[in-house]
Every structure is written in C-alpha cells, then in structure tokens.
C-alpha cells in the first residue's frame, strides 16, 4: 500500500511543472532576498539563520527530486539559478559589510566577489552552449565542494560580523582563522572548479 502511494505521487508530480523540488528551489530564491535585506540592516544573526535555511534547501530539493524521480527541465535551470543568486549576492554584500572591519586577508574582498560572480557567469554560458548542443553538463564533484567551501566562508564571516558588532572585542582565534581558511579555500575551489568546467567544455568549444 505504501509503495503504491509512493508510485502515485511520483506519477502525478512528473506531469507537474511546479512540483515539490521546484517549489523548494523557489522558496530558496525568496529566502535569498530576505537574507539580502537583513545584511545591510546589520541583523547578522538573523541573516545567518536565513542563509542556513536557504542553503539547506539546496540539498533537500536535489534529494527529493532524485528520490521521487521529479527531475524536470525547469528544475535543471531553477536550482542552479537560485544557488548562484544566493552565493553571488552573499559574496557581494559581505564584501561591502566586511570592508575596513577585518584585515585584507581575513575578509571577502570586492575582487573575490568579482571572481565568484565571474565564474558563475562563465559556467552558466558554458552550460547553455553544451546542453544546447545536446551534451551533458551535470554538476561535478569539484563544483559541489566549491559550494560547500563558499557556504562555510559565508557562515564564518557572518558569525565574525555578528560578534564584532555585538562586542567589538577581537574575534576568537579559532573563528578568525576559520574565516581566513574558508575564504581562501572557497576562492581556490571556485577557480579550480571553473577551470575544470572549461577543460570539460573544450570539445564543444573547438572545431
């Protein structure tokens, strides 16, 4: 009985454009703009909670779509689009918020945000070209690791901003070096994963 109900749910959802995974992705987009509104208001703890929920939905929608066979064309576009909005927006706004408050090597600087946004734009163009030519441009492990490092960097920076705004005291040593390590690891993984995508797209870009 339980297996039959599951099959019925799968059958119905495959015919729906706005199935559960796509609704979760759309919710992530809404949460992203809530997060963007909280940051300039210096509500760092609230922004942290919203970011964690938004980032968590990225795993949930993918898992749900695969488990119940609800992968759709809309989902293949909407899911990465929402990811890019959340991460690119977070890096841009954190670059503004952290400017002058942290040493140059312990902050998301403006140029780092530019690299992150540039990489996402490049991958989006490559995805459009390759999938338009009938190729496969599924997410690679390097891209998934990049997302993890970026999320850790955003979270650690938000905690640092919240503590600095709350007390003004120097950050705990462990947090300071977590910020340093996560920011630079996220930058390296961003460049590395972007390079791997370019290498993988060579056969489609060359005659």
User: How many whole angstroms separate alpha carbon 17 and alpha carbon 22?
Assistant: 8
Going residue by residue through the chain (207 aa), what tens digit of pLDDT does each one get? 344 444 344 444 444 677 888 889 999 999 999 999 999 999 999 999 999 999 998 888 878 777 777 777 787 788 889 999 999 999 999 999 999 999 999 999 999 999 999 999 998 888 777 766 666 666 678 888 999 999 999 999 999 999 998 777 889 999 999 999 999 999 999 999 999 888 877 777 666
Q: Three-class SS string for 153-184?
A: HHHHHHHHHHHHHHHCCCCCHHHHHHHHHHHH
Q: Note the pLDDT tens digit of each residue in 151-182.
A: 999 999 999 999 998 777 889 999 999 999 99
What's the domain count of the chain?
A: 1
Which residues form the domain of 155? Answer: 2-205
Q: What is the CATH number of the domain that holds 161?
A: 1.20.120
* Prediction pTM value: 0.86
Candidates 191, 155, 160; CA nearest to 173 is: 160
- Looking at residue 9, its pLDDT comes to 42
């Amino acid at each position: 009985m339980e297996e039959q109900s599951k099959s019925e749910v799968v059958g119905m959802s495959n015919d729906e454009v706005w199935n559960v995974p796509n609704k979760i992705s759309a919710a992530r987009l809404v949460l992203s703009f809530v997060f963007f509104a909280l940051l300039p208001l210096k509500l760092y703890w609230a922004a942290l909670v919203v970011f964690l929920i938004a980032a968590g939905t990225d795993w949930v929608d993918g898992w749900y779509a695969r488990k119940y066979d609800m992968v759709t064309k809309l989902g293949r576009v909407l899911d990465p689009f929402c990811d890019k909005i959340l991460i690119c927006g977070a890096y841009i706004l954190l670059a503004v918020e952290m400017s002058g408050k942290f040493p140059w090597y312990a902050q998301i600087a403006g140029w780092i945000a530019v690299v992150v946004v540039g990489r996402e734009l490049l991958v989006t163009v490559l995805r459009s070209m390759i999938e338009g030519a009938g190729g496969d441009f599924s997410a690679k492990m390097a891209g998934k690791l990049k997302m993890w490092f970026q999320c850790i960097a955003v979270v650690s920076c938000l905690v640092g901003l919240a503590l600095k705004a709350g007390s003004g005291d120097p950050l705990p040593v462990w947090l300071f070096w977590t910020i340093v390590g996560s920011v630079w690891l996220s930058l390296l993984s961003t460049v590395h994963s972007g390079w791997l995508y370019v290498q993988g797209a060579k056969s489609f870009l060359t005659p």
